Structures are given as C-alpha cells and as structure tokens.
Structure 1
Amino acid sequence: MDMKRAQNETLILYTRDWCGYCELVKRAAQELGLTLEERNIWESPDWSSELVNAQGRLTVPVLRHDTADQISEWISESSVIIQ
C-alpha cells in the first residue's frame, strides 16, 4: 500500500498490547505524517469481531484502508503495510 497516497482516506490499525510489529507500523505512519485510528483488539470484543470477520483470524497488525468510494482494503503483515 502506498501510505503517502492514503492521506485523505481513513486508516484504521488493528493492534494489541506488546506487539512490536504494531509499533513498527505506527512509527512508519507517524514519520509520514499519517493519522491512524488505533483499535486494540484486547480492549474491545467488537474490534476483535471486526478483525475475525474480515480476516478469519486475530493476527495483528492489520490495516483497514477505507477509500473515499466506500471500499475497505484489509492489509496484513507489517512489512506489506509500511511499503
């Protein structure tokens, strides 16, 4: 995903506590000046359910990229997210 291109779109990062890969993604987004809505799956059963419904598992980090035309793209793996 081109994180620079996503500046005018909604970015939601699903995370959990003690996740080093989640921290890498958050740091990369901060360096690019992007705003992420963070959803810690350990803090809300609703957020856990959203992730399982979309991905079939509770692995984090996962970035949900909501485009202006109402399409959600779910991106797994920190190395793919920060590209």
Structure 2
Amino acid sequence: MTYPFPDDLVRAQRDWLATYRQLAAPRPRHITALRRRLLDLSAYLLWHPFWSTPPGTPTARVELRRLAHRQEQRGTRAA
C-alpha cells in the first residue's frame, strides 16, 4: 500500500537517517549539534499532523522509514 506522505515528512525522515548515520560514524564531529538535530527531527516526525489523519497508521510509520531509506539509497548510487 502506498501512503500520501507529505514531502516535508519524507524529507525530515531522510534528514533523520543522515543525522543518525553521522552520529554512528567513528569519532563524529559536532556530537552535541548532531544529537540536538536528531532530537528536533524526532519530535518533528512524531508530532507531524499527518499522523492524525486516517492514513497515518502505525504501518504508515514503518513505510515512511522504508521509503526514506530507499530514496536515500537511490540518491547515494546516483551521486
């Protein structure tokens, strides 16, 4: 099933993945800034208005993460 995810929600999920990956790298730089960014993005993702609509089911949350991950992988290969 496809969900009508808003662009800002997908972009925030991709940003969350990129920030998490930066934090997980060996000896990351700017750890405090990255942690703050991750917390801000987490709150944004959690409280986005999309989740209060009928398509905003728990299954949609999983699909959002999968979609962002797929888009990120395609972007990495294209670069």
TM-score, with structure 1 as normaliser: 0.30
Structure with more strand by fraction: 1
Structure with more helix by fraction: 2
TM-score, with structure 2 as normaliser: 0.31
| Higher Cα Rg, which structure | 2
